[in-house]
Amino acid sequence: MKLTRLQRISELFAQFLNWLIEQNFPTEINGRPLFYNDRPQSRIHIDNKIVSIEKGYEDHPATFVTWFGAAIFSIWLGGRLPTQKEWKKTIFTKGSELKSEQILFSKDHENVAQYYGDTTPVRFFPPNQFGVYDEIGNVSIWLSNPEDDNPFEKLKAGLEWNHSSERGILPNPRPHWLGTSGLGIRVVFDEIKKDQPDTGFSEELRDVVEFLTKEKHTNIQGANLELFRKINNLFKKEII
């Protein structure tokens, strides 16, 4: 298992959005963003099906990404989202307890609590003992699914450039369609990263999207389980 050190991840995510547009996937479902929440304050914009990155933010983390967008982007790169256990390993040494009140922050080591007033470039700070950059601050990240039967809430972990609460670092559930200025992506590769993106899953993705677009499901619990099955099929293995 290897965590990403993708410096130009915003550039890669913009390429991913272009691919989605070429495949004619919808950008929202029932008024909520599906892959990406394109807001006036976001740094990647979609205008008339043309994706662009705000100048000067090519090396910054991709933000305003929904859980579904982060998960599918990870597959597109040939990877996946980290699990909660993997995330903990990058933050705490073996045998240490996960206690947010023991974490001390410094603007010399992480970007939190409006220290810099915005996101900072990837690798702006030195890595931690595991070689991971921005393991606490800059942006929080989406994790793979929590261990419950609700596929519509996902876990995020870590602190954000505009977040000052230590308690927020711990993994906590959020709606899958959430996309904010402090929420980003980290990708795990179980194998060597491919030179070209993986685009061979478009039909499986379309199957999941079509399922999500149904306005009403007569059996909510059954619909949740069916969505689990479809997304797991998309990921090719039980990782969520």
Give the number of other Cβ atoms within 10 Å of residue 212's Cβ: 21
pLDDT per position as a tens digit, 214-239? 655 555 566 667 777 777 777 654 44
- CA-based end-to-end distance of the chain: 16
**Residue 133, token pair as written in the block:** 């950059």
Lowest-pLDDT range of 87-101, 122-136, 170-184: 87-101
User: Burial of 13 by CB count in 10 Å (0-12 exposed, 13-18 middle, 19+ buried)?
Assistant: buried
pLDDT per position as a tens digit, 10-47? 889 999 999 999 888 888 887 788 898 888 888 888 88
pLDDT per position as a tens digit, 192-204? 665 566 667 778 8
| Domain locations along the chain | 2-199
Q: Which amino acid type is present at position 140? A: S
Q: Are 64 and 37 in contact (CB under 8 A)?
A: yes
Task: State the CATH class of domain 2-199.
Answer: alpha beta
